[in-house]
Amino acid sequence: MDKYIEMVRIRFLMMLAYRTNYYSGILIYSINIGAYFFLWSAIYGDKGNIQGLSVLQMSTYVAVAWMARAFYFNNIDREIALEIKEGKVAVELLRPYHYLGMKTMQAFGEGVFRLLFFSMPGMIFIAFVFPLEFPGNAATWIFFALSLVFSFIINTQINLLTGIMTFFLFNNDGLIRAKRVVVDLFSGLLLPISFYPGWAQGVMQYFPFQAISYVPNMIFTEAYKGNELLQALLYQGIWAILLLIPIQLLWMLAKKQMVIQGG
């Protein structure tokens, strides 16, 4: 276990070395959130409420969605793809740790860094500029934090899956890009899932994507209450477990049919 925690620490320190560009990142994220804020204001016009979300809740939703993304977002799919392409993965496999576990820990180190140096200061900055509504209830914060951990796990699992696919596709830049687009749309980052037409919402229930962004955002804006909230967390938990199966299967297959390209 120690070596995995060490991975988190090392990655965190590595990120710290590059921290300057995160300040510009906060500004750019803010511009991004700001533009969505105006877009949504225009969409709401003089409607007080769309699909159970008020304008205030909606702007909070957008701000939290982007700031949470900074935490769960990582590039391990790209890193895995690169290590496979360069043949480095062969050496990695000889080392005394589980390769995927190690990647997850690196992603976690990166996530914690971004949470502390990006999301939190960013959120405070944005709260000064735009009207946002922070939950006053301590329980909401705890559920939100829990939900965010699940977001990280599920998003990382999807990244691992995309990364492992490099073993079979050799060059999967296209797939990685496609995945990113699909996650942004179906996770609820760009649009709350409740805004989609009913049939689309029905289909999306059978995918893990909304566990990444929609669920934590809805918890934060206090649009989920009581039973609904628990069900949402359960939904996240189930997906976090279910996704282990394809990862394990693909990983076993991948090791069997590994072709080292160069290296």
**Burial zone of 160 (CB within 10 Å; 0-12 exposed, 13-18 middle, 19+ buried):** buried
125 binds another protein (CB under 8 A): no
CA distance 203 to 60: 26
Residue with smaller CB distance to another protein, 41 or 248: 41
Q: Which stretch binds another protein (CB under 8 A): 29-37, 86-94, 136-144, 232-240?
A: 29-37
CB of 125 to another protein, least distance (A): 15
Q: Is 53 helix (H, G, I), strand (E, B) or coil?
A: strand
Count of residues engaged in binding another protein, rule: CB under 8 A: 39
The least CB distance from residue 124 to another protein, in Å, is 19
Q: Is 42 in the site for another protein (CB under 8 A)?
A: yes
Binder of another protein out of 1, 2, 18, 227 (CB under 8 A): 18
Distance CA 233, CA 216 (A): 9
Q: Which of 175, 247, 250, 258 binds another protein (CB under 8 A)?
A: 175
* Burial classification of residue 21, based on how many CB atoms lie within 10 Å of its CB (0-12 exposed, 13-18 middle, 19 or more buried): exposed
Burial 47-57 (b: 16+ CB within 10 A, else e): eeebeebbbeb
Is residue 66 within a helix (H) or strand (E), and if so which, with residue range? helix 55-72
Q: Phi, psi (5° rounding) for residue 54?
A: -80, 170
Of the candidate residues 125, 196, 235, 251, the single one contacting another protein (CB under 8 A):
196
Residues at the interface with another protein (CB under 8 A): 18, 20-22, 24-25, 28-29, 31-32, 34-35, 38-39, 41-45, 47, 50-51, 169, 171-175, 177-178, 181-182, 184-185, 190-191, 195-197
